[in-house]
Amino acid sequence: MIETIQWIDDCVVMIDQTRLPVEEKYVHCRTYQEVATAIRDMIIRGAPAIGVAAAMGVALGVLRTPDEAVDGQFETICETLARTRPTAVNLFWAIDRMKRLYGSVRAQPVGEIRRRMIEEALRVREEDIAICRAIGRNGEPLVPAERTILTHCNAGALATAGYGTALGVIRAAVEAGKNVDVFADETRPFLQGARLTVWELQQDQIPTTLITDNMAGHFLKSGRIGCVVVGADRIAANGDVANKIGTYSVAVLAKENNVPFFVAAPISTLDLTLASGDQIPIEERAAVEVTHVFGQQVAPEQSRVENPAFDVTPSRYVSAIITEKGVARAPYEDSLRKLAG
Amino acid sequence: MIETIQWIDDCVVMIDQTRLPVEEKYVHCRTYQEVATAIRDMIIRGAPAIGVAAAMGVALGVLRTPDEAVDGQFETICETLARTRPTAVNLFWAIDRMKRLYGSVRAQPVGEIRRRMIEEALRVREEDIAICRAIGRNGEPLVPAERTILTHCNAGALATAGYGTALGVIRAAVEAGKNVDVFADETRPFLQGARLTVWELQQDQIPTTLITDNMAGHFLKSGRIGCVVVGADRIAANGDVANKIGTYSVAVLAKENNVPFFVAAPISTLDLTLASGDQIPIEERAAVEVTHVFGQQVAPEQSRVENPAFDVTPSRYVSAIITEKGVARAPYEDSLRKLAG
């Protein structure tokens, strides 16, 4: 069985998601800088998984820093990890959680600080798996039986510590005995759908069909899709959802064809400090991700490229937001605030 | 300067569109069977270009068949070329045109038949360039200045004998002095946008930005796109448009964001025998086009794949259809029939 991210022998060990499915290779991070690089280079990706990686990165930084330097270095460790990717809020949520703990233990002996930081990072990971299971339980009743579920990108075990958010809902539907199959958008440019979603659903023997992103509309129009389920990288107070580029298109096409569009995400993905999705920073990534595929050139040299990694789906296209604490529906200002407690 | 398709020394010569932009390689077809294979393998593609190739293929077949066998072989030649690709109606239109000519000259000496068939195929090519120029002239006034034009797939010089349909409209806008730039969807799985549209617009120094298909919605929402222009493979009597997979999605997203959506195509793309787009046959292509890019595996082995090469955009999403004879608007039943004469 594949593990997305683990703490082994005082290293952070991740499966290299840039190489899947061609190669199942693990990356061992020995320093917090290596964790930061792994997040930036998308060796690990997916909002909840990034949160776990950041928490482990902070713990690793504290572990590797000489006793006398820990207090001086702590902010640098956190900042380095925070500067890796701007959109997924789980990154900042996890770092804040580690900072709060640090604040409460910094007066203690360094050995004790280290022990507590590692323990907390492991707890973030364990909680994430439990949260995904709860999201699955809460989302499963929304999934129509005997139909096809469309998903975009990878919001699966590989995007979390395990089980997945959107794919957690699908797994829960299968576990509940529903006869469903999955259509996976390939999700250019990084091909998370083709490379990761198809691969991990194959492991679970959930019947999955790969399509290119531009086929989603055609199949939504065809009537065979019963619902869409995707993950999220950040959700604003009004229910606007930042998620992998292309999510907005799928949401519009779902609404146009009267297909329910569900977002599955942990409460840590909520950013209630933002009134709307317009305020969510959208990461722009390198042109080479679009012009090359696994190193193979697919566009002319010197192509001008735009490569926003995310888009924002206005909440009017979102049928429900599925969290570990329950299902939110419009008006989201109220329902999300209630769930967040 | 690159030529899409030419008749040289009694060969049909095409630039190999499966290799662009990495390699500028010409394929020389010496038999009609080689032309058929070139069409099927997408060495040449684009509805009008396929029409020219089919006409030349018929002429080549007649040219290479021994005198006494021409009349017996003629149907086989036409059928072989007709069985290559099912969706673009220009293929059948061109073959029918060659059949009509053949019917009118079959009593003449074989040398004269051959001369007339070749002459007709060359005329189909020349007319296609003139038609594209006229489409450009007719479409140019619809293009807003100082804005970005979004296009999908390649409906350019490479999809025609030259100048292009959708890209003909863009070229005409640039020639009219309008300051515009282009966003090109990469158009998976065959990447006609990335490989062909970006490449040919670069040759003309028209500023072009490459995006993945799933970014089109994001940029349509952003307000920077002034209009969408695409080509067509077949247009039904009610104005429903079959075009490259993903066109339907772009059309819905354009409408949702109040961006005009134009289709540019020659009259030969109309199929007034079909009441609606539901009756247009949609080609399903091989899974390997989705699972591999230039031979590089991008999805797990044994992935189940759907690969419809086209979709149908209902006419309610189409702001206008631009032809060489003028611009049709809804209700299309009337306007298209009038243009077709």
Q: Do A252 and B253 touch (CB under 8 A)?
A: yes
**Mean pLDDT (whole number) for B298-316:** 97
pLDDT of residue B52: 98
C-alpha distances in Å from residue B82, one per residue of A71, B44, B88, B201: 76, 15, 10, 31
Restricting to A residues 179-238, those with a Cβ less than 8 Å away from any Cβ of B are 183, 185-189, 191, 194-195, 198-199, 202, 207-219, 221
What pLDDT score was predicted for residue B216?
A: 98
Distance CA A154, CA A197 (A): 5
Q: Which of B214, B301, B306 to mutate to test the interface with A (most CBs of A within 10 A)?
A: B214
**pLDDT tens for residues B17-63?**
999 999 999 999 999 999 999 999 999 999 999 999 999 999 999 99
Nearest chain B residue to A257, by CA? B252
Contact residues, chain A, for B187 at CB < 8 Å: 214
Structure tokens at B79: 């059928």
Amino acid at B282: I
Q: Which of A183, A195, A218 to mutate to test the interface with B (most CBs of B within 10 A)?
A: A218
**B151 touches A at CB < 8 Å:** no
Q: Is the CB of B311 inside 8 Å of chain A's CB atoms?
A: yes
Chain A residue closest to B244 (CA)? A214
Across residues B324-329, what is the average pLDDT?
A: 98
Q: How far is A173 from chain B (nearest CA, A)?
A: 21
Are A198 and B303 within 8 A, CB to CB?
A: yes
Annotated catalytic residue A311: no
Q: Is the pLDDT of residue B258 over 90?
A: yes
Starting at the edge strand found earlier in the chain, the sheet holding B261-264 runs A304-305, B208-211, B181-185, B148-151, B225-230, B261-264, B320-323, B326-328
- CB neighbours of A79 closer than 8 A, spacing ≥ 6? none
User: Quick check: B1 pLDDT over 80?
Assistant: no
> Residue A175: CA atoms inside 13 Å, Cβ hemisphere, count?
14
DSSP percent split of chain B into helix, strand, coil, nearest 5: 45, 20, 35
Options 3.10.129.10, 1.20.120.420, 1.25.40.10, 3.40.50.720; CATH of B5-133: 1.20.120.420
Q: Compute CA distances B271 → A245, B265, B328, whole Å.
A: 36, 12, 15
Contact of A165 with chain B, judged by CB distance below 8 Å, is answered with no
Looking at CA atoms only, how far is residue B112 from chain A in angstroms? Answer: 45
Whether B340 shows a pLDDT value over 90: the answer reads: yes
Would you give the DSSP letter of residue B144?
A: P
**What are the sequence ranges of the domains in chain B?**
5-133, 139-340
- Closest CA–CA distance from residue B305 to any residue of chain A (Å): 5
Q: Judge: B305–A209 Cβ closer than 8 Å, yes or no.
A: yes
A61 C-beta neighbours (distance < 10 Å), count: 24
CA distance A189 to A209: 19
CA distance B220 to B252: 10
Token pair belonging to B300? 């797990």
Cis peptide before B266 (omega within 30 of 0): no
Per-residue pLDDT at B239 exceeds 90? yes
The verdict on A316 touching B (C-beta cutoff 8 Å) is no
User: Which chain B residue has the Cα nearest residue A252?
Assistant: B253
The answer on pLDDT for B166 being more than 90 is yes
Task: Answer yes or no: do A195 and B299 touch at CB < 8 A.
Answer: yes
Report the residue from B195, B252, B297 with minimal CB separation from A298.
Answer: B195
Q: Which of A154, A203, A215 to mutate to test the interface with B (most CBs of B within 10 A)?
A: A215
Give the one of A211, A214, A305 whose C-beta lies nearest to B210's C-beta.
Answer: A305
User: Cβ(B275)–Cβ(B249) under 8 Å?
Assistant: no
Alpha helices in A140-280 (DSSP H): 166-175, 192, 198-203, 216-222, 247-256
Amino acid at site A303: S
Q: Where are the alpha helices (DSSP H) in A140-274?
A: 166-175, 192, 198-203, 216-222, 247-256
Catalytic positions of B, please? 233
How far is CA B83 from each of CA A242, B76, B88, B167, rounded to the nearest angstrom?
Answer: 46, 10, 12, 28
B252 with A191: Cβ contact below 8 A: no
Contact B218/A298, CB-based, under 8 Å?
no
**Of B152, B194, B213, Cβ closest to residue A299:** B194
Across the A/B interface, how many CB contacts are shorter than 8 Å? Answer: 191
3-state secondary structure of B168: helix
The per-residue pLDDT string of chain A (341 residues; one tens digit each, 9 = 90 and over) reads 789 999 999 999 999 999 999 999 999 999 999 999 999 999 999 999 999 999 999 999 999 999 999 999 999 999 999 999 999 999 999 999 999 999 999 999 999 999 999 999 999 999 999 999 999 999 999 999 999 999 999 999 999 999 999 999 999 999 999 999 999 999 999 999 999 999 999 999 999 999 999 999 999 999 999 999 999 999 999 999 999 999 999 999 999 999 999 999 999 999 999 999 999 999 999 999 999 999 999 999 899 999 999 999 999 999 999 999 999 999 999 999 999 99
The residues, ordered by sequence, that sit 6+ positions from A123 with a Cβ below 8 Å of its Cβ are none
Chain B residues lying within 8 Å of A189, measured CB to CB: 212
By percentage, how much of chain B surpasses pLDDT 90?
A: 99
Amino acid code (one letter) for B32: Y
CATH superfamily of the A139-340 domain: Translation initiation factor eif-2b; domain 2 (3.40.50.10470)
Please compute the mean of the pLDDT values over residues B187-216 and round it to a whole number. 98
Flag if A221 and B308 touch (Cβ within 8 Å).
no
Q: Looking at the predicted structure, is the pLDDT value of residue B2 above 90?
A: no
- Torsion, Cα of A235, A253, A284, A268 (10° steps): 20
- Contact list, B208 vs chain A (CB under 8 Å): 303-304
B256 touches chain A (CB under 8 A): yes
Buried residues in A173-195 as b, exposed as e (16+ CB within 10 A): bbeeebebbbbbbbbbbbbbbbb
Nearest CB to A249: which of B202, B208, B216? B216
Interface mutation target, options A206, A212, A224, A297, chain B, most CBs of B under 10 Å: A212
Distance from the Cα of B253 to chain A's closest Cα (Å) equals 7
**Chain B positions in Cβ-Cβ contact with residue A259 (cut-off 8 Å):** none
Q: Is B323 on the interface with A (CB under 8 A)?
A: no
Contact A180, A146 (CB under 8 A): yes
**pLDDT of B84 above 90:** yes
CA distance A33 to chain B (A): 29
| Count of alpha carbons within 13 angstroms of residue B202, beta-carbon side | 18
